[in-house]
Amino acid sequence: MKLVIIDYGSGNLRSVENAFKKSISDNNLKFSIEVTKNLKLLMESDFIVLPGVGSFPDCKEGLKKIKGLIEVLNDKVINRGCPFLGICVGMQLLVDYSYEKGKTSGLSWLEGSIEKINNIGLDYLGRKFKIPHMGWNNLQIIKKTHPIFKNIIENEHFYFVHSYYLNTLQIDQIMAETFYGHKIPAIIAKDNYVGVQFHPEKSGLVGQKFITNWLKWKP
C-alpha cells in the first residue's frame, strides 16, 4: 500500500512522516511512505494525508500553487474513494469557507465555515481561555462505533494548536468534539475522508493509536 503525505509548503512534514512510520513499523503494516507534491505519485497512492500549519489562506494558496493538485485531490478522494486524512489546517481546508484574514474558499467536501474561537467564559481555574488554543485537551466521542476510535476511550487527551475552528450545522459529520470556551469539532468524517483539528503526530501514545486505526480503516 502506498501512503502519500502531501508536501505543499505547509505542515510539520517530518514529524508527521515519523509518526506514520512508527505506527506502520509497530503494527507490521504493509505501507510505503512518500512525502511529495508529485501528482503522478499522488494518483498512484492508496492513502493520502494532508497536513497543515499556519493560516488557512496561506495553506490554500500553497495548494493552488501546485498546478493540478486540487483537481487530482478531488478526483482521488471524491470520485475514486481514496482514504484521506486532513490534519489541523489540512482538516479546515475540507470545508466551504474560512473567515481567517478575510474570506477564503475551501475544498467544499464538508459543509461549514472556519471562524475565530470565541474565548468566552472561564476555565476550571477561573482563567479566561487564551487564544490560540494550545496544549492538551480531552475528546468527547460522539460516534463511538466509527473504526477510528478502536482502543480510544472517552476523555483521552490530544494535542491542539489553533485559533480558528469549524462551525457547522451538519452535526452528523462530527465524530468527536472538545471544549475550549465552547464546543469545537475535533474529528469530522464523511465517507472515505477524515479531518482532525488536533495533531495526532504530537499526541503521544493515543495519537499513535489514532494513526494506526486510520491506516487500518477500510471505508
* pLDDT value for 181: 84
- What is the identity of the amino acid at 181? G
Domain assignment of residue 178, given as a range: 2-216
If one counts the domains in the chain, the total is: 1
Return all residues near 109 (Cβ < 8 A) that are at least 6 apart. Answer: 77, 78, 94, 95, 190, 193
Per-residue pLDDT in tens (0 to 9) along the chain, 219 residues: 999 999 998 878 999 999 999 999 999 999 999 999 999 999 999 999 999 999 999 999 999 999 999 999 999 999 999 999 999 999 999 999 999 999 999 999 999 999 999 876 666 666 777 888 889 999 999 999 999 999 998 889 999 999 999 999 888 999 999 998 889 999 999 999 999 999 999 999 999 999 999 999 998
- Dihedral through CA 3, CA 15, CA 146, CA 92, nearest 10? -90
Q: What single-letter amino acid sits at 211?
A: I
Question: Are the beta carbons of 215 and 47 closer than 8 angstroms?
Answer: yes
pLDDT of residue 214: 98
Query: Of residues 17, 59, 88, 100, which has the active-site annotation?
Result: 88
- For 179, other C-beta atoms within 10 Å of its C-beta total 15
Specify whether the CB–CB gap between 122 and 141 falls below 8 A.
Answer: no
| CATH code for position 100 | 3.40.50.880
- For the CA atoms of the chain, what is the radius of gyration? 16
**What pLDDT was estimated at residue 78?**
97
| Separation CA 55–CA 218 (nearest Å) | 31
Q: What's the pLDDT score for residue 125?
A: 61
What grid cell was written down for 98?
474560512
- The answer to whether 59 is a known catalytic residue is no
Pairing of strands 140-141, 174-179: antiparallel
Instruction: Give the residue from 94, 101, 96 showing the smallest Cα distance to 116.
Output: 101
Phi, psi of 157 (to 5 degrees): -100, 135
Residue tagged 462530527 (cell numbers) = 174
Residues 93 and 138: their CA atoms lie apart, in Å, by 23
Told to judge if 61 belongs to the known catalytic residues of this protein, a careful annotator would answer no
Contacts with 101 (C-beta within 8 Å, 6 or more apart), sequence order:
55, 56, 57
Q: What's this model's pTM, rounded to 2 decimal places?
A: 0.94
Q: Which residues pair with 36 in a beta bridge?
A: 6
